[in-house]
Amino acid sequence: MDSKNKDLRHLAIIMDGNGRWAQQRGLPRFEGHLAGARRVVELIPFMEKYGIEYITLYAFSTENWKRSAEEVQYLMNLLADFLDDNLENMCKNRIRLRVTGRLADLPDFCVQRLNSVMEKTSCYQERTLILALNYGGRTELTDAVRKIAASVQDGSLRPEDIEEKTISEHLYLPDVPDPDLMIRTSGELRISNFLLWQLSYAEFYFTDTFWPDFDEAELTKALDAFRKRNRRFGGRP
């Protein structure tokens, strides 16, 4: 395929299957999460190669707090290590880091690192890596409705003036274009509360491949499939 994929500005990925990848190999779950983090590092250079401006990775959902305290702590430490180890890599590839989700509810050491890396990479505009952390699509819509309700209450917005654009403008990252393609690994056929509003007209691609095994060859398959789709956005063929 061509090195530039002009129709795909924003790629969203549900990185699923780390635990099952480890289980198949007789390894503890944390080894799967570590392998998954390494796969993210390998993915970063592909943004430029395939002309992708935005990648959103579903890294930690609002539901993931239900996991064991040990696993959650490991994931938070892994996030901190990822940020420490890859700041130079993001700067080298001129990639800006952003976060979507309820950032304030994360541990302080994660919030501090996230804010630091976001500040240090804020000058880069060519490509943006978005981590969905403590993120849930329903939570995002709930927060948007609360903001809109507050504006109605204080008189700065009339109920009859609320449009789809109004809701979009009150989401976590209103300036980011909606995803063109959503990939989910590991064979699950659902979106699991991910970007419910933004995925309205995205193309979906599901693969049985576990996230730690989702290499460039697998990415190319997904991008090739996307290019063959006829995106009508509700219009006629």
11 near 184, Cβ under 8 Å?
no
Cα separation values, 152 from 1, 121, 162, 169, Å:
49, 36, 9, 15
Q: Choose the catalytic residue: 64, 77, 143, 193.
A: 64
- Please report where in the chains the tokens 């804010």 appear, as a residue: 115
Q: Tokens in use for 37?
A: 């983090």
* 64 catalytic residue (yes or no): yes
Q: Choose the catalytic residue: 2, 5, 7, 16.
A: 16
* 77 catalytic residue (yes or no): no
- Measured CA to CA, the distance from residue 164 to residue 158 in angstroms comes to 14
Phi and psi angles of residue 22, each rounded to the nearest 5 degrees, phi first:
-65, -45
- Please report where in the chains the tokens 């996030």 appear, as a residue: 79
Q: Please give the DSSP secondary-structure letter assigned to residue 15.
A: -
Cα separation values, 34 from 2, 28, 57, 187, Å:
31, 10, 15, 20
- Taken as a whole, the chain contains a residue count of 237
47 near 4, Cβ under 8 Å?
no
Q: Tokens in use for 6?
A: 């002009």
Mapping DSSP to helix (H, G, I), strand (E, B) and coil, where does residue 204 land?
strand
The residues carrying an active-site annotation are 16, 64
